[in-house]
């Protein structure tokens, strides 16, 4: 067995057959045939990848051979050869399914290039077919779609834990779907007065967070002119979703621990304990265990929160989900943009599969949206997707090996530098800022995150206002 692709050369003139064979045999496994019968023999027995055939084969008709070849269970890619002046027939052959044609006298370099292109197209077509089959075997609950085996146990855990009162901690990188999971846990909880109340812990200062969670009595601090009901009370009978739980300050951690343990809260400035019936779901993209080790997060609270932990794996470790998600976003975003894309073009999916997605599902969604917006033809091809996806190894998202820190060779099958998530996120944010002309609201929208989260990330990255000065004076 050889790994070379197979090419069948069909021509009734011996010198053409020999010339082509000589020029192609270094790169391909070549077979030759002088007529249609011999050609069909090879096609049936030799797993031919590309057939190069003259349109006129003495007594035989190249067009008929084309049709017979294409009717085979595993048809080859067909390239037609035609005399100068009979291009019309060649075009007709393409209409019937030929890949392309070349005119005689032959330019052998051109033929070789065309054969290579034909093989690449056939490869993509096969890959695409396989990926499309994956889409058909998707599974989903509550809008969480997936195919890869990694997601299945997660969906099962959600179903199992949702109807209970257990506190759930959802961990995972940014954009992996933590909020979606939190909502699923709530929606499937079957709690009678169910509502879900969200608190973005990172966005609020310590004092505001405390009064946001537990409420305050009138006059309890300067500015507290009215009594205020906190989110715990608002969520009574339902779910409280504490997003970015790793960000809460030490004092609020203590209060939260008490609220979780005793199911009672006290408003700021109040003295009366208030009974609440709240199911808590928390999410974080931080390594909470490490924060506990470093003394930045209370260990007792950590254990209280993680009665059930759901870890959302990064998209790069469950690439089998990409076709399903891409298909879903394509339909959703086409409808939203008033376009009618039904499927991705054949070179687009392989492109998506080859990329590492540091921004996870959120980044994939943004890439598909880019494609939907950029394509005016009937299909979204690789060229309509963001350019950085096609750079070798997703160049835009990788740190050079010298900056990669301690690299774990076993971690990566390739010899690429290890992926640095923060670096990658920074690139993503920079690109969004660039595309939006440094408009943060627009950039946040492109990134499918709130403007507040974007602000916070910019702050974390030390990118606040140092990067590209704003034109408007800050308020
Ligand atoms: N499995 C999935 N199926 C369908 N859509 C998904 C899936 N995972 C994520 N998404 C979509 O990707 C986007 C990001 O998801 P989400 O906001 O839940 O991420 P996150 O983990 O909370 O991110 P962050 O840490 O940045 O807040 C959303 O538009 C969400 O609907
Ligand atoms: Mg989130």
Least confident of 98-102, 273-277, 401-405: 401-405
Q: How far is the CA of 276 from the centre of ligand 1 (A)?
A: 29
Q: Tokens for 312?
A: 């959302």
Q: Is the predicted pLDDT of residue 36 greater than 90, yes or no?
A: yes
Mark which of 397, 419, 441 sits at the end of a domain.
419
Q: Tokens for 410?
A: 């076993």
Q: Is the predicted pLDDT of residue 373 greater than 90, yes or no?
A: yes
Please check whether residue 130 lies inside any domain of the structure.
no
Dist. CA 380–CA 343, nearest whole Å: 8
Q: How confident is the model at residue 219 (pLDDT cuts 50, 70, 90)?
A: confident
Q: Tokens for 85?
A: 């002046």
Q: Are residues 302 and 158 in the same domain?
A: yes
pLDDT digits (tens, 9 = 90+) for 38-84: 999 999 999 999 999 999 888 888 999 999 999 998 899 999 998 86
Q: Where are the alpha helices (DSSP H) in 192-320?
A: 206-214, 231-234, 250-262, 288-293, 299-305
Per-residue model confidence (pLDDT) at position 436: 77
Q: Is the peptide bond before 105 cis (omega within 30 degrees of 0)?
A: yes
Q: Are residues 384 and 292 in the same domain?
A: no
Q: Whose CA is nearest to atom 10 of ligand 1?
A: 177
Q: How confident is the model at residue 223 (pLDDT cuts 50, 70, 90)?
A: confident
Q: Tokens for 335?
A: 């409808």
**Which of 80-94, 148-162, 187-201, 213-227 tops mean pLDDT?**
148-162
Q: What is the mean pLDDT of residues 3-11?
A: 92
Q: Is the predicted pLDDT of residue 443 greater than 70, yes or no?
A: yes
Q: To which residue do tokens 């949206």 refer?
A: 369
Q: What is the mean pLDDT of residues 143-160?
A: 89
Q: Quick one: which of 3, 28, 32, 27 has its CA closest to 16?
A: 32
Query: Which ligand number lies closest to the CA of residue 138?
Result: 1
Query: 281 forms bridges with which residues in the sheet?
Result: 168, 241
CB contact set of 349 (below 8 Å; sequence gap of 6+): 127, 128, 131, 322, 323, 326
Mark which of 313, 338, 365 sits at the end of a domain.
313
Query: Could you tell me what percent of the chain has a pLDDT over 90?
Result: 57
Q: Is the predicted pLDDT of residue 362 greater than 80, yes or no?
A: yes
Please check whether residue 470 lies inside any domain of the structure.
no
Q: What is the SS3 assignment for 391?
A: coil
In 10 A of CB 250, how many CB atoms?
11
Q: Whose CA is nearest to atom 30 of ligand 1?
A: 177
State the total domains in the chain: 3
Dist. CA 124–CA 385, nearest whole Å: 17
Least confident of 3-7, 167-171, 328-332, 363-367: 3-7
Per-residue model confidence (pLDDT) at position 423: 61
- The residue that leads in pLDDT, 3 or 359, is 359
Least confident of 133-142, 290-299, 317-326: 133-142
Dist. CA 206–CA 97, nearest whole Å: 67
Q: Are residues 163 and 306 in the same domain?
A: yes
Query: 139 forms bridges with which residues in the sheet?
Result: 146
Q: Tokens for 227?
A: 């009594």
Dist. CA 344–CA 322, nearest whole Å: 12
Q: What is the CATH number of the domain that holds 395?
A: 1.10.8.60
Mutational pocket test of ligand 1: of 362, 449, 451, 456, the residue with most ligand atoms within 8 Å of the beta carbon? 362
Q: Tokens for 196?
A: 């879900």
Over the chain, what is the mean pLDDT?
A: 84
Q: Tokens for 277?
A: 């019936």
Dist. CA 415–CA 404, nearest whole Å: 12
Q: Are residues 308 and 221 in the same domain?
A: yes
Q: Whose CA is nearest to atom 31 of ligand 1?
A: 180
How far, in Å, are 11, 188, 215, 271 from residue 207 at the CA level? 84, 33, 11, 18
Mutational pocket test of ligand 1: of 326, 361, 451, the residue with most ligand atoms within 8 Å of the beta carbon? 361
Q: To which residue do tokens 């009901």 refer?
A: 229
pLDDT digits (tens, 9 = 90+) for 381-418: 999 999 988 764 443 343 322 222 223 333 333 333 33
Q: Quick one: which of 437, 444, 429, 446 has its CA closest to 472?
A: 437
Please check whether residue 96 lies inside any domain of the structure.
yes
Q: What is the mean pLDDT of residues 291-301?
A: 95
Q: Which atom of ligand 1 is nearest to the CA of 177?
A: 18
Q: How confident is the model at residue 419 (pLDDT cuts 50, 70, 90)?
A: very low
Dist. CA 459–CA 128, nearest whole Å: 41
Q: Are residues 153 and 287 in the same domain?
A: yes
Please check whether residue 282 lies inside any domain of the structure.
yes
Q: Domain range for residue 28? A: 6-110
Please check whether residue 450 lies inside any domain of the structure.
no
Q: Are residues 100 and 144 in the same domain?
A: no
Q: How confident is the model at residue 424 (pLDDT cuts 50, 70, 90)?
A: low
Q: Are residues 196 and 288 in the same domain?
A: yes
Q: Which atom of ligand 1 is nearest to the CA of 449?
A: 26
Strands 308-312 and 196-200, sheet pairing:
unpaired
Q: What is the mean pLDDT of residues 205-218?
A: 90
Looking at residue 170, the DSSP 8-state letter turns out to be E
Q: Are residues 224 and 357 in the same domain?
A: no
Per-residue model confidence (pLDDT) at position 259: 93
Q: Whose CA is nearest to atom 26 of ligand 1?
A: 174
Per-residue model confidence (pLDDT) at position 132: 72
Please check whether residue 238 lies inside any domain of the structure.
yes
Dist. CA 250–CA 294, nearest whole Å: 13
Per-residue model confidence (pLDDT) at position 53: 96
Per-residue model confidence (pLDDT) at position 135: 66
Q: Is the predicted pLDDT of residue 458 greater than 60, yes or no?
A: yes
Q: What is the sign of the dihedral through the CA atoms of 47, 52, 58 and 64?
A: positive
Q: How confident is the model at residue 196 (pLDDT cuts 50, 70, 90)?
A: very high
Q: Are residues 160 and 308 in the same domain?
A: yes
Q: Tokens for 406?
A: 């301690």
Per-residue model confidence (pLDDT) at position 233: 94
Q: Are residues 62 and 176 in the same domain?
A: no
Q: How confident is the model at residue 342 (pLDDT cuts 50, 70, 90)?
A: confident
Q: What is the CATH number of the domain that holds 86?
A: 3.40.50.2300
Q: What is the mean pLDDT of residues 227-246?
A: 94
Q: Are residues 100 and 154 in the same domain?
A: no
Q: Are residues 229 and 370 in the same domain?
A: no
Mark which of 313, 333, 366 sits at the end of a domain.
313
Looking at residue 417, the DSSP 8-state letter turns out to be P
Q: What is the sign of the dihedral through the CA atoms of 432, 436, 437 and 441?
A: negative
Strands 50-54 and 6-10, sheet pairing:
parallel
Q: Which atom of ligand 1 is nearest to the CA of 448?
A: 29
Please check whether residue 307 lies inside any domain of the structure.
yes
List pocket residues of ligand 1, CB cut-off 6 Å.
Answer: 143-146, 172, 174-180, 285, 325, 361-362, 365, 448-449
Query: Which ligand number lies closest to the CA of residue 320?
Result: 1
Please check whether residue 17 lies inside any domain of the structure.
yes
Q: Tokens for 62?
A: 């190249």
- The residue that leads in pLDDT, 393 or 456, is 456
Dist. CA 9–CA 29, nearest whole Å: 11
DSSP codes of every residue in 309-376:
EEEE--GGG-GGGHHHHHHHHHHHHHHHTT----SB-TTHHHHHHTS--TTHHHHHHHHHHHHHHH--
- The residue that leads in pLDDT, 210 or 224, is 210
């Amino acid at each position: 067995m050889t790994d070379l692709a197979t090419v069948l050369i069909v021509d009734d003139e011996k010198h053409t057959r020999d010339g082509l064979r000589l020029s192609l045999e270094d790169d391909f496994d070549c077979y030759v045939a002088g007529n249609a019968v011999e050609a069909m023999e090879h096609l049936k027995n030799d797993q031919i990848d590309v057939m190069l055939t003259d349109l006129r084969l003495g007594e035989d008709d190249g067009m008929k051979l084309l049709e017979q070849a294409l009717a085979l269970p595993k048809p080859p890619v067909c390239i037609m050869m035609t005399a100068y002046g009979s291009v019309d027939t060649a075009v007709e052959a393409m209409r019937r399914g030929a890949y392309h044609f070349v005119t005689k006298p032959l330019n052998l370099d051109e033929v070789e290039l065309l054969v290579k292109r034909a093989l690449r197209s056939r490869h993509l077509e096969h890959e695409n077919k396989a990926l499309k089959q994956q889409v058909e075997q998707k599974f989903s609950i509550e809008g969480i779609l997936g195919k890869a085996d990694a997601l299945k146990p997660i969906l099962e855990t959600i179903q199992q834990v949702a109807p209970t009162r257990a506190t759930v901690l959802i961990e995972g990188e940014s954009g992996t779907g933590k909020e979606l999971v939190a909502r699923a846990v709530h929606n499937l909880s079957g709690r009678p007065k169910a509502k879900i109340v969200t608190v973005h812990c990172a966005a609020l200062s310590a004092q505001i967070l405390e009064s946001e969670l537990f409420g305050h009595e009138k006059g309890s601090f300067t500015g507290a002119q009215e009594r205020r009901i906190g989110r715990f009370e608002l969520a009574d009978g339902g779910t409280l979703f504490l997003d970015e739980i790793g960000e809460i300050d030490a004092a609020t951690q203590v209060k939260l621990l008490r609220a979780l343990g005793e199911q009672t809260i006290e408003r700021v400035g109040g003295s009366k304990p208030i009974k609440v019936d709240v199911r808590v779901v928390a999410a974080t993209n931080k390594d909470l265990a490490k924060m506990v080790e470093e003394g930045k997060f209370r260990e007792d609270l950590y254990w209280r929160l993680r009665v059930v932990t759901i870890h959302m794996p990064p998209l790069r470790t469950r690439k089998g989900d990409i076709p399903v998600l891409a298909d879903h976003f394509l339909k959703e975003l086409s409808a939203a943009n008033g376009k009618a894309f039904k499927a991705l073009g054949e070179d687009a999916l392989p492109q998506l599969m080859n990329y590492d997605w540091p921004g996870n599902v959120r980044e994939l969604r943004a890439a598909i949206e880019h494609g939907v917006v950029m394509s005016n033809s009937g299909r979204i091809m690789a060229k309509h997707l963001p350019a950085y996806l096609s750079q070798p190894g997703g160049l835009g998202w990788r740190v050079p090996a010298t900056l990669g820190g301690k690299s774990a060779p076993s971690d990566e099958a390739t010899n690429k530098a290890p992926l640095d998530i923060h670096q990658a996120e920074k690139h993503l944010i920079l690109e969004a800022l660039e595309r939006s002309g440094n408009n943060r609201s627009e950039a946040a929208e492109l990134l499918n995150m709130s403007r507040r989260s974007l602000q916070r990330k910019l702050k974390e990255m030390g990118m606040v206002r140092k990067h590209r000065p704003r034109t408007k004076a800050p308020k």
